């Protein structure tokens, strides 16, 4: 499963935790403006906005987990099992396979408003990338510097939600996740007065008691609440270092450690990587489970007029800074 958030200080940031039990050989991938995007059932994009993000590159095609384009529009796909539904082709709509969704939308749109116009005519069609790589059941968070949306393709059709929280996890559907926050309206970073019984002297015996009841398990509903609370109560300076540092701390509040989520056959779901992209500057930061040092790639230091994908292998070995070695 996964968690994605948007966050703002002076600049705007978008990223996610990727939580799975296996890796797909993902690499940081920059798609320049003139790399020819081809789609199975709609017209190609010989030129488009440049993208940066994490992708599995298969047959020279970037299968993006999440990406940000040069205008700042950002998008992440998160697991949505048992709820995601993809359709047969519809001649009256634009038929896009889910594996094409991120490059198609980010390649064409600079803002949420532009994306809404395309989403009104889209049909997410049930076409696998290949026999070896079938479609994953996903839903998506889409964000620019001003607002965020959640996009869910279910048996009832394509649903688009405004996302005032700026957080997305997995099941259940987003409308329930949003409603569920009502159950935590009492949670606070400060301790409330005694409303239990006025005649009882109840002691505030520990700091942090305002957060009693905040979930701490790894379920997607609990991670949604915890990430939303952490994000909205977060305090940070507005420098790049402070902002990026705080972004990763928010994601750390819902990261998964190996051994805590048993998926069977001796495998465990865990946070394979965490990412943070400065939407305004096109700088992509990440950490991995095995490497806590923040690694960065800057989109605008590359030739964005090129025609070939630019990839950087993930640095996945712990970097320890010795002071006396």
What is the SS3 assignment for 116? helix
276 in active site: no
Q: What are phi and psi of 294, to 5 degrees?
A: -75, 125
Largest CA distance in the chain: 74
Query: Which of the following is catalytic: 2, 109, 276, 277?
Result: 2
The C-alpha angle 99, 39, 142, rounded to 5 degrees, equals 45
Q: Under 8 Å CB-to-CB from 317, ≥6 apart: which residues?
A: 290, 291
Which one, of 226, 139, 230, lies nearest residue 180 by Cα? 226
Under 8 Å between Cβ of 84 and 152: yes
Instruction: Specify the DSSP class assigned to residue 209.
Output: G
Instruction: In whole angstroms, give the CA distance from residue 325 to residue 78.
Output: 42
Q: What are phi and psi of 147, to 5 degrees?
A: -160, 170
Catalytic residues: 2
């Amino acid at each position: 499963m996964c968690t994605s958030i948007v966050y703002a200080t002076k600049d705007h940031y978008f990223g996610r935790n990727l939580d799975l039990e296996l890796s797909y050989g993902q690499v940081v991938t920059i798609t320049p403006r003139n790399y020819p995007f081809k789609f199975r059932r709609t017209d190609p994009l010989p030129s488009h906005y440049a993208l940066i993000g994490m992708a599995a590159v298969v047959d020279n095609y970037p299968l993006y987990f999440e990406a940000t384009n040069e205008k700042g529009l950002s998008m992440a796909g998160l697991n949505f099992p048992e709820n995601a539904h993809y359709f047969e082709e519809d001649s009256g709509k634009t038929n896009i396979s889910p594996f094409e969704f991120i490059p198609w939308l980010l390649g064409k749109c600079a803002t949420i408003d532009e994306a809404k116009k395309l989403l009104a005519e889209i049909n997410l069609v049930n076409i696998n990338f290949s026999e070896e790589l079938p479609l994953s059941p996903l839903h998506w968070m889409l964000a620019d510097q001003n607002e965020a949306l959640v996009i869910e393709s279910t048996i009832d059709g394509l649903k688009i939600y405004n996302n005032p929280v700026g957080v997305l996890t997995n099941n259940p559907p987003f409308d329930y996740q949003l409603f569920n926050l009502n159950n935590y309206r009492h949670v606070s970073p400060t301790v409330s007065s005694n409303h239990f019984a006025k005649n009882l002297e109840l002691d505030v015996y520990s700091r942090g008691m305002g957060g009693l009841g905040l979930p701490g398990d790894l379920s997607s509903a609990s991670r949604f609440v915890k990430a939303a609370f952490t994000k909205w109560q977060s305090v940070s300076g507005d420098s790049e270092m402070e902002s990026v540092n705080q972004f990763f701390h928010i994601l750390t509040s819902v990261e998964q450690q190996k051994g805590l989520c048993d998926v069977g056959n001796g495998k465990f779901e865990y946070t394979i990587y965490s990412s943070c992209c400065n939407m305004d500057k096109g700088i992509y930061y990440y950490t991995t489970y095995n490497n806590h040092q923040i690694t960065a790639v800057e989109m605008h230091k590359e030739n964005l007029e090129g025609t070939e994908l630019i990839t950087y292998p993930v640095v996945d070995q712990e970097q320890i800074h010795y002071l006396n070695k």
